[in-house]
Amino acid sequence: DSVFANVARAPEDPILGVTVAYNKDPSPVKLNLGVGAYRTEEGKPLVLNVVRKAEQLLVNDRSRVKEYLPIVGVADFNKLSANLILGADSPAIQGNLVTTVQCLSGTGSLRVGAEFLARHYYERTIYIPNPTWGNHTKVFTLAGLTVKTYRYYDPVTRGLNIQGLLEDLGSAPTGAIVLLHACAHNPTGVDPTLQQWEQIRQMIRSKSLLPFFDSAYQGFASGSLDGDAQSVRMFVGDGSECFIAQSYAKNMGLYGERVGALSIVCRTADVASRVESQLKLVIRPMYSNPPIHGASIVATILKDRNLYHEWTLELKAMADRIITMRKHLFDALCARGTPGDWSHIIKQIGMFTFTGLNRKQVTFMTKEYHIYMTSDGRISMAGLSSRTVPHLADAIHAAIT
Ligand code: PLP
């Protein structure tokens, strides 16, 4: 018998498992709204034009070799990534208070940050929003942190529970880490207003909590890179510590290239450089050093004025298509007279709509309409098109009535 005969079968990942089920469905009208990846109006994955151009430049450059990168990755990429999220004129950057390391997309950046905290920070508890992206709990727990939740979403208003949020952070132990979605909160699509961010910032600083931003959608929420970075910049602007995990999966469409960065903003340049020396000790035994290709694409785009401009236009076009899909779906439900208030579809921000549909209704829509989504009723607006909106609206209408 196999020495692994006792290995139990693990359940599918709750998000990636949706695609597994979708792939098995032979129906021609099937629709995958589970996956958090952009699709064109034709339902196809998109490689940005500007990414193709950058890749061409890289291929044509015969001086490029395949040597190992340093442990911290591509130096230009790190500098430019910090500039992108903090703003090039940020005093933290000017004062060399920021250390940035290239990591394996957003997930890898969160994990490296968490491993560093588990080793070098005095408070092991991290507060994450309820609900949040499903992987957060696992990433932080496996890094050795204790995960607790703070109230975030109010199902009644389908908006932010700011009172509950402030109460929960207010009663957290001094120094606790707080995970914040920089913009386009996943799965709810509900973000604090700038005034609410300011309240959150004051609470976090007054309790000496440590903010850890997850920035997976910069530019994807509003179409503006600076607009979507405002929450982070507000915190960095007050001069206290801050962690930021950045992903280029969505905003540059580099999903499978696994490009991201972890930035740690410190109070002095000396601390920042010592922190970086320890980040290297975290990374070296995990994967030694990161891959070259994706980070080189990003660096090529970010450092060239024309390519950068072209990227902002393509990014805005993706964000706009998602916003248009929100309007179409909202209108389609209004036209059908579907009972209930559906205005949250147009109020929510980013890739997802948190529909409010329950598990039973989701199961019904999958069974009867071949529409796939996570069981919490989250749908990816990026997976919709003008052609498929009516089918979804029919399904929601049938599930509700
Ligand atoms: N954080 C959030 C909130 C996300 O939604 C995602 C992707 O869905 C990620 C992090 C990490 O994605 P990746 O590791 O592909 O960059």
Q: Which candidate, 318, 127, 295, places its Cα nearest to that of 204?
A: 127
Select from 16, 35, 38, 107 the residue to mutate for testing ligand 1; criterion: most ligand atoms less than 8 Å from CB.
Answer: 107
Distance CA 209, CA 168 (A): 12
Atom of ligand 1 nearest to the CA of 248: 16
pLDDT tens-place values along the chain, 401 residues long: 999 999 999 988 878 888 889 999 999 999 999 988 999 999 999 999 999 999 999 999 999 999 999 999 999 999 999 999 999 999 999 999 999 999 999 999 999 999 999 999 999 999 999 999 999 999 999 999 999 999 999 999 999 999 999 999 999 999 999 999 999 999 999 999 999 999 999 999 999 999 999 999 999 999 999 999 999 999 999 999 999 999 999 999 999 999 999 999 999 999 999 999 999 999 999 999 999 999 999 999 999 999 999 999 999 999 999 999 999 999 999 999 999 999 999 999 999 999 999 999 999 999 999 999 999 999 999 999 999 999 999 999 999 99
Tokens of 268: 């002095």
Distances (CA, A) of 355 to 107, 187, 374, 397: 25, 10, 11, 12
Ligand 1 touching residue 314 (CB < 6 A) = no
- Tell how far the Cα of 70 is from the centroid of ligand 1, in angstroms: 24
Q: How far is the CA of 331 from the centre of ligand 1 (A)?
A: 30
Does ligand 1 have an atom closer than 6 angstroms to the CB of 133?
yes
Q: Are 4 and 10 in contact (CB under 8 A)?
A: no
Q: Is 216 in the pocket of ligand 1 (CB under 6 A)?
A: yes
Indicate if ligand 1 lies below 6 Å from the C-beta of 218: no
What number does the ligand 1 atom closest to the CA of 15 have?
A: 8
Q: Is 102 in the pocket of ligand 1 (CB under 6 A)?
A: no
CA dihedral (355, 251, 205, 159) in degrees, to 10, reads -10
Give the active site residues: 133, 214, 250
| Residue-level pLDDT at 14 | 79
DSSP one-letter code for 31: E
E-assigned strand segments in 182-253: 210-215, 242-247
Whether 210 and 176 have beta carbons less than 8 Å apart is answered as yes
Q: Would the CB of 36 count as within 6 Å of ligand 1?
A: yes
Whose CA is closest to atom 2 on ligand 1?
216
Residue 62 Cα to ligand 1 middle (Å):
34
ipTM surpasses 0.95: yes
Q: Mapped to the 3 state alphabet, what secondary structure does 136-149 carry?
A: HHHHHHHCCCEEEE
Residue whose CA lies nearest to ligand 1 atom number 16: 106
Whether the CB of 220 sits within 6 Å of ligand 1: no
Return phi, psi of residue 251, to 5°: -75, -20
Looking at ligand 1, which residue's alpha carbon is closest to its atom 8?
A: 36
Q: Which helix (H) or strand (E) holds 362?
A: helix 359-369
* CB neighbours of residue 163 within 10 Å: 10
Contact between 260 and 106 (Cβ < 8 Å):
yes
Helix (H) or strand (E) segment spanning residue 178: strand 177-181
Atom of ligand 1 nearest to the CA of 185: 3
Q: For ligand 1, is residue 396 a contact (CB within 6 Å)?
A: no
**What integer pLDDT is reported at residue 35 of this predicted model?**
82
Does residue 235 line the site of ligand 1, with CB under 6 A? no
**What is the C-alpha to C-alpha distance for residues 54 and 47, in angstroms, rounded to an integer?**
12
Q: What whole-number distance in Å separates Cα of residue 182 and Cα of residue 290?
A: 24
H helical segments located in 288-336: 293-303, 305-336
> Which of 133, 183, 191, 255 maximizes ligand 1 atoms within 8 Å of its Cβ, making it the mutation to test the pocket?
133
| Residue 222 CB less than 6 A away from ligand 1 | no
Ligand 1, atom nearest to 214 Cα: 1
- How far does residue 143's CA lie from ligand 1's centre (Å)? 17
pTM (predicted TM-score): 0.96
Q: Please enumerate in sequence order all residues whose Cβ is within 8 A of that of 251, keeping only pairs 6 or more positions apart, or say none.
A: 217, 218, 219, 220, 225, 315
